[in-house]
Amino acid sequence: MSYAYLFKYIIIGDTGVGKSCLLLQFTDKRFQPVHDLTIGVEFGARMITIDSKQIKLQIWDTAGQEAFRSITRSYYRGAAGALLVYDITRRETFNHLTTWLDDARQHSNSNMVIMLIGNKSDLESRREVKKEEGEAFAREHGLVFMETSAKTAANVEEAFINTAKEIYEKIQEGVFDINNEANGIKIGPQHSPTNPSLPGSGSSGGSQGSGCC
Amino acid sequence: MAFLEWRKFHFFDLHPNVDDGKLSELFKENKITTTSSGNNHLVLSDSLGQIYLVSRSWHTSCFRAYEISVDFTQQMTSAPILVTIGQDEPGVNPLIKVWDTSRLDKNGSPYCYRITRALPGNRPVQVSALCVHDNLQLMAVGFIDGSLIIYRGDVTRDRSSKQKVLRTSNSFITGLAFKSTASNVFLFVATEALVVVYNVTQKDKEQKYHLDNIGCAKKCCVLAESMQESHFMIGRDDAVYCYTSDGRGPCYAVDGEKIALEWFRSYLIIISKSTRSTNLTAMPASNENSINQSVVNETNSITVLDIHNKFIVFSTTMPKIKAILNEWGALYILDEANRVYHLDENDLQSKLSLLFKKNLYDIAIRIAKSHQYDSDGLVNIFKQYGDHLCDKSDFSGAIEQYIKTIGKLEPSYVIRKFLDSQHIEKLTMYLQALHKRGQATEDHTTLLLNCYTKLNNSLGQSDNLKEFILSKDGDFSYDIDVAIKVCRQGSPAEALMLSKKHEKHDWYIKIQLEDHRRYAEVLDYIANLKFEEAEHYMRKFGTVLVENAPHESTRLLKKLCTDYKPAGAECGPLTGNFDVTVRADPEEFIHLFLSNSERLIEFLEHLMGEGSVLSRPVYNTLLEHYLHVWSNSENVSDKNKLSQKILKLMQNPDVDYDKSQALVVCHMNSFKDGICILVFNGRFGHQEPTLWVQALWSCVRNKTNPSMDLLNEILTVIAKEKLFSPQLVVDAIGTGNANVTLGHIRSYITNELQQERKKTKEIAELTANYRRDTDKLKELLGKLKEDVVEIRGSRCAACHHTLELPKIHFLCEHSFHQHCFQSFSDDENECPTCQPENKDLLELLKAREHNKDLHETFHSHLEKAPDGFSVVAEYLSRGVFNRYKIIADEALQKTLEMAPERNNNVKREPATELATYGAGAEARLRQSEVKSKPRAAPVSEGRMRTQEHRYSHSLEANMEYWKPKSVAKSAVKSNPFQGGGVSCTNPFGEEDYDEAKNPFNDGEDEDEDSDRNNPFREDLRPF
Ligand SMILES: Nc1nc2c(ncn2[C@@H]2O[C@H](COP(=O)(O)OP(=O)(O)OP(=O)(O)O)[C@@H](O)[C@H]2O)c(=O)[nH]1
Ligand SMILES: [Mg+2]
């Protein structure tokens, strides 16, 4: 399918906070109650529309376990957006946010949009982290904040789409160097301004779209 | 570490030595350099430049492909084409050769299509990777310096081939893979330091995309193609990284230094260096000789990763592995010692049973699904899973599984498990699901609703039931009637809701009435229905409603019979059919008011007020109930008011009521005024003379206000019509309470007396005359008998000439010449002169005789006659009823007796034809039968039989006409043969008639015509 832009996201956060569930909810619209540990990095993609433009989101859902940190770190660099997830029912996942944020800032490109997500908002009775705390943390670190539930799908869509909007705005503002794929943004085949001089590119790409997925 | 996180199963078996050691025999001296497989054979190449093609039966054929060595081979899977790169000369001089393995030359070696030198630029560089596209139009060769040559055009033809040299990087190219999408062709290139992808769709427009800054070792990359999204995978020590043409994809953390990656079905096979010596023990026992192998101490581990389900389906360690070969749908592993192992995937069933043993049902389900297991099989797993969860007391989990079995598994299986009251919530869930799927039977609905009710009671969760009931029609499918029935017992409110929602008016009304006795609600409800329904339900439930909510019901009924509109729709603007106002027939509802006269009156008055023209029975009823109320009411003023009303009604010319019935009713309730009105209206005067008498009675009994005019009128009529003897009138007036003085009736009495006197005189005169006449006749008779009759006649009465002999004398003193007499008379016994007179007389008598069976005339006479008795008397005098009763009796008896015997020999005689109708006729026949039995009996019987039914008709008719009881009785008792046709049983014996006076009993002279006198004739249909 053809797209105007391809944005790459990474989802990070402690193990068990619901990263994989968020992805599954976003891509497949379903919820998996059994915890299937992510071993390595899982991957999902979905098309969204922003400003009447087709945007393909490619999302890396990383393993939260410490053991996989070295593997997952390498994924920061190619991402334009990150969902930093904690579990509102487990304070320690909130406490680890700074570590995650440092890690992300260190290994990603500086323009990466980071969305802070307090997941499992459906488990209000077991809440350990107040919404205000999350908001405060986000304000302090310049993040966008949102509470979601991968179970009920509340705010899941919004979390991904708002991040994309943010990235899109940054592109419009010229903050992102869209020609550097390391930023996690790719221009769709037919929109590619990189090689407009190539004689065939216009005719070939226009109808063909991306070969992948 | 991370490695351990994968779930592990054992879905493969490793069978060693599947080739019986043939290959190790073959490669004793030489070393296998490269392998490939496809097109129904394995391709093994050795360091001496020879290529071995191995068939499925491990049969090998060998040919020399290169002088020095074979370095790379690729056997196309779908074509008998083998592409190789090797050395024919010493030094760096790689040659590409393309072979047709299906065409062998005389030496037994395959036909070689082309030989091409592989040189990136002008420098000789060692080849490090080879990849041929399946379409046989693209071929890529990678070199150790990072250069890449792409050959376009038919790989089997040298000349058409165009080559392009690309530089990926400076690092050793370790792997190449083509991937075609609908519109693009990509070439993934893995080097030791990075991964790139080229879009090679168009010639000379190859575009390079950088994918990653990490690379992999030789053989450690593979294109995983059987998934929805194919990935190029590279194996690194920490993990297997995947790429799409857009960049990085997922990554599987599998530890260990990778030696090779292979893709098989949906499995990733990872061969890595085994780091843990402890794993040696995990080696299959059959491999014990590998431990003896002292050549290499190193072992490899083989891991099969199910990418789709994310678990390891096989892992073991084994001696160093040289190659993995994928052919014939199976996986073969070749170790350094050239031993061949078969890595055999278990069939689904054994996988599942393995999982079941471990109670890993969720995984079993996942696997079954990814194997496209049939739904029956899946249901079986769901069931087992459910059972297992049940055993573990995870009932909600179990129900979740059982729900998935709906449609296949018999619901009773599940229901039985959850019938215990503590599982009621789960059972409810299941039943709900059952309904959602439309698989529920009536019983299930019943059960579910009962569950709801129970939950309601115990937990106060009343919402479920409501939700269920209020659910959209499509959500749950169930039998509404059953649901209502069940709800009615447990939660009546819901039953009502349900019936209202589904417009089960019957139920709604029934429940409201029978369970709640909410009559007003029911009436409101009915008032909201459409006319037809409202009418129907009023008719159906009206009795109860009127009984219990008389006022409201009456109001509704009034509406129904005048201008009914559903209450809800009253203000609706779209009353397009307002002119077609349907009205219910009030008659239909009258019976509802049987015990409530007031309401009925109200109802009917309303209807009349609305200008409805009611039918005669309705008016009758109204009158009747008026009177009923009137007679029951104690209050005098009420009574008066009512009587005014009644009288008004009776005098209303528009009101068409049955007067006679009215009369009866008035009578019953002693409503004298009514009787008077009926009488005065003159409609009964002549028909029912007794009315006048009654009027008289009522008049004289009325103590309060005797109306003298009335009295006079009555008396006049009585006098005129001779209804009542004056004596009785005086009696009546005398006994009455009314203040009637003699003066009031004086004129009447005088009148009466005068008349009486006049009449007496007349009669006296008449009597005198008759007496005189009689005396004369007696005298004459005496003379004729005793005296001598002088015949003095001298002239012939015929010719008036003097008589001469011979002559004839008659006692009437007429004489004739014999010749005159002979020519004049018809009858020699009669006097021709007297004959006309006699004849007239006889005819008169005959005519009289004849008249008596003209019943219409009789009746009309009777009706018209002021004195009916005289008419009857006259008719009797003509012998009208002569022996009638006997005859009738006989006939009936006969009919009854004959009926049972069925005899078909029907014989008719013309002689009896004229008398074949009427009971009288029958009687006549009986008579003749008695007289001349031999002749008549069969005839009459035959005729009777043919007409059995007709007689039974007449029986019925008679029974209606006469007092049925006595007729029947007499009919049974009397014997037709008794007394030779003259029955002595008088059916009217018990009646007002005196036996002696019985007109039916004294007619002795039966003649042929007696049947004609049958007064029943008009009840019998002549044929
Ligand atoms: N109630 C509730 N449970 C959730 C939600 N999101 C995730 N979970 C549960 O949390 C557990 C962990 O979810 P995952 O998505 O597998 O966690 P993860 O972040 O991917 O964990 P790692 O892969 O180990 O990093 C699962 O059992 C989920 O069922 C949520 O929004 N609400
Ligand atoms: Mg995960």
pTM score of the predicted model: 0.59
Q: Ligand 1: which of A10, A11, A20, A156 to mutate, judged by most atoms within 8 Å of the beta carbon?
A: A20
Q: State the pLDDT at residue B979.
A: 41
Identify the pLDDT of residue B245. 83
Cβ of A213 within 8 Å of Cβ of B229? The answer is yes
Structure tokens at B266: 């949906």
Is B249 part of the contact surface with chain A (CB cutoff 8 Å)? yes
Spacing of C-alpha B296 from chain mean position: 83
Phi and psi (nearest 5°) for B959? -65, -30
Inter-chain residue contact B239 with A71, CB threshold 8 Å = yes
**Rounded to an integer, what is the distance from CA A82 to the centroid of its chain?**
4
Closest CA to B80 of B97, B49, B103: B103
CA atoms B604, B605, B606, B610: torsion sign? positive
B450/B486 Cα distance (integer angstroms): 7
Neighbours of B462 (CB within 10 A): 16
Could you write out the DSSP letters of every residue in A27-81? HHS----S-----EEEEEEEEEEETTEEEEEEEEEE--SGGGHHHHHHHHTT-SE
Residue B32, pLDDT score: 84
pLDDT, residue A87, reads: 94
Minimal-distance CA residue of chain A relative to B200:
A211
* DSSP one-letter code for B908: -
Is B303 in a helix, a strand, or coil? strand
**Per-residue confidence (pLDDT) for residue B974, from 0 to 100:** 41
Q: How far apart are CA A150 and CA A119, in angstroms?
A: 7
> Looking at the DSSP assignment, which residues form a beta bridge with residue B189?
B176, B196
Atom of ligand 1 nearest to the CA of A62: 25
Ligand 2: distance of its center to the CA of A14 in Å? 9
Tell me which of A123 and B459 has the higher pLDDT: A123
CA B141 – CA B484 distance, rounded (Å): 78
Burial code (b: 16+ CB inside 10 Å, e: under 16) for B215-245 equals bbbebbbbbbeeeeebbbbbbbebbbbbbbb
Percent of chain A predicted with pLDDT > 90 = 46
**Closest ligand relative to A150 C-alpha:** 1
A193 contact B CB<8A: no
From residue B47, give the alpha-carbon distance in Å to each of A67, B65, B220, B266, B664: 43, 11, 22, 33, 135
Give the pLDDT of residue A101.
92
Question: B365, B382 in Cβ contact below 8 A?
Answer: yes
| Alpha-helical runs (H) found in chain A | 19-28, 69-76, 91-95, 97-107, 131-141, 156-173, 201-208
Chain-centroid distance of CA B255 in Å reads 69
Q: Two tokens at A173? A: 């503002």
- Name every chain B residue with its beta carbon within 8 A of the beta carbon of A75: 248, 251
Closest CA to B526 of B503, B547, B548: B503
- Pinpoint the alpha helices (H) of B724-741: 726-735
What is the C-alpha separation between B864 and B870, in angstroms, rounded?
Answer: 12
Closest by CA position to B80, among listed B113, B115, B50: B113
Angle between helices B395-404 and B375-391 (to 10 degrees): 170
Q: Is B98 helix (H, G, I), strand (E, B) or coil?
A: strand
Closest CA to A8 of A53, A52, A51, A62: A62
Q: Tokens standing for A66? A: 């410490």
- Lining residues, ligand 1, CB within 6 Å: A 15-21, 33, 35-38, 63-65, 119-120, 122-123, 149-151
| Rounded CA separation B162/B174 (Å) | 23
Nearest to B115 by CA among B94, B143, B132, B138: B94
| Secondary structure letter of residue B6 according to DSSP | S
Strands A81-87 and B41-46: unpaired
CB contacts of B185 in chain A (<8 Å) are: 211
Nearest to A5 by CA among A60, A77, A58, A56: A56
* CA separation, residue B180 to residues A36, A186, B244, B549, B693 (Å): 32, 21, 12, 84, 122
CA B291 to chain centroid: 80
Whose alpha carbon is nearest atom 12 of ligand 1?
Answer: A16
B363, B309 Cβ separation under 8 angstroms: yes
Crossing angle (nearest 10°) for helices B442-459 and B480-490: 30
How far off is chain B from A67, nearest CA to CA, in Å?
6
Return the CA Rg of chain B. Answer: 64
DSSP-based three-state secondary structure for A121? coil
> Closest residue (by CA) to atom 15 of ligand 1?
A18
- Please tell me the distance from the alpha carbon of residue B433 to that of residue B918, in angstroms, as a whole number: 79
Residue of the CA atom closest to atom 6 of ligand 1: A18
- List residues bridging with B327 in a β-sheet: B330
Q: How far apart are CA B201 and CA B138, in angstroms?
A: 10
A181 contact residues in B (CB cutoff 8 A)? 209-210, 247
Average pLDDT in the A70-96 region? 90
8 A C-beta contact, residue B270 and residue A90: no
User: Strand B173-180 vs strand B185-191: parallel, antiparallel, or unpaired?
Assistant: antiparallel
> How far is it between the farthest Cα atoms of chain A?
62
Question: Which residues of B are less than 8 Å from A42 in CB distance?
Answer: 250
Euclidean distance between CA atoms B323 and A71, whole angstroms = 28
Pick A58's closest partner by Cβ from B209, B210, B246.
Answer: B246
Query: Kind and range of the H or E element at A155?
Result: none
Pairing of strands A5-13, A53-62: parallel
- Average pLDDT taken over every residue of chain A: 83
Helix or strand run (H / E) with residue B82: strand B81-87
Residue minimizing CA distance to atom 29 of ligand 1: A33
pLDDT per residue as tens digits for the range B129-154: 899 988 888 889 888 888 888 888 88
Q: How many CB pairs under 8 A join A and B?
A: 90
Asked if B250's CB is within 8 angstroms of A60's CB, the reply is yes
More confident residue, A102 or A36: A102
Chain A residues with CB inside 8 Å of B234's CB?
none
Beta bridge partners of B7: B311
pLDDT of residue B852: 57
Q: How far is CA A36 from CA A40, A206, B7, B266, B781, in A?
A: 12, 40, 10, 19, 147
Q: How many CB atoms lie within 10 A of CB B926?
A: 26
Per-residue b or e along B957-981, where b marks 16 or more CB atoms closer than 10 Å to that residue's CB: bbbeebeeebbbebbeebebeeeeb
In B405-549, which residue ranges form alpha helices assigned H by DSSP? 411-417, 424-436, 442-459, 463-470, 480-490, 492-501, 505-510, 519-527, 531-548
For residue B177, the chain A residues in CB contact (below 8 A) are none
Reduce the DSSP state of residue B53 to 3 states and report it: strand
**For the segment B529-556, what is each residue's pLDDT rounded down to a tens digit?**
777 777 777 777 777 777 777 777 777 7
- How many separate helices (H) and strands (E) can be counted in chain B? 36, 31
Is any Cβ of chain A less than 8 angstroms from the Cβ of B203?
Answer: no
Read off the tokens for B655: 């009101």
Confidence (pLDDT) at A22? 92
Tokens read off for B978 = 């008794």
Q: State the Cα torsion B148-B153-B157-B162 to the nearest 10°.
A: -50
How many angstroms separate the CA atoms of B61 and B71, rounded? 19
Nearest residue of chain B to residue A212 (CA atoms): B245
Average pLDDT for runs of 10 along chain B of length 1023: 67 86 80 86 86 87 86 88 87 86 82 85 85 88 88 81 81 88 87 88 84 85 79 88 86 86 88 62 44 56 86 86 86 86 86 82 79 80 83 80 81 80 78 78 78 67 65 64 72 72 76 76 78 77 76 77 64 44 69 73 74 72 76 76 75 70 72 68 56 68 62 72 70 68 75 86 92 90 78 73 76 76 72 78 75 69 74 70 42 44 43 41 43 40 43 41 41 42 42 45 44 45 44
Contacts of B127 (CB under 8 A, 6+ apart): B71, B72, B85, B94, B118, B141, B142, B143, B144
Q: How many whole angstroms separate alpha carbon A150 and alpha carbon B418? A: 31
Distances (CA, A) of B792 to B37, B674, B824, B985: 171, 78, 21, 58
Inter-chain touch A200–B210, beta carbons under 8 Å: no
Q: Is A208 at the interface with chain B, CB within 8 A?
A: yes
pLDDT tens-digit series, residues B178-226? 988 888 888 999 988 888 888 888 888 888 888 888 888 888 889 888 6
Q: How far apart are CA A120 and CA A90, in angstroms?
A: 10
Whether residue B206 lies within 8 A of chain A, CB to CB, comes out as no
- Find the ligand nearest to A42 CA: 2
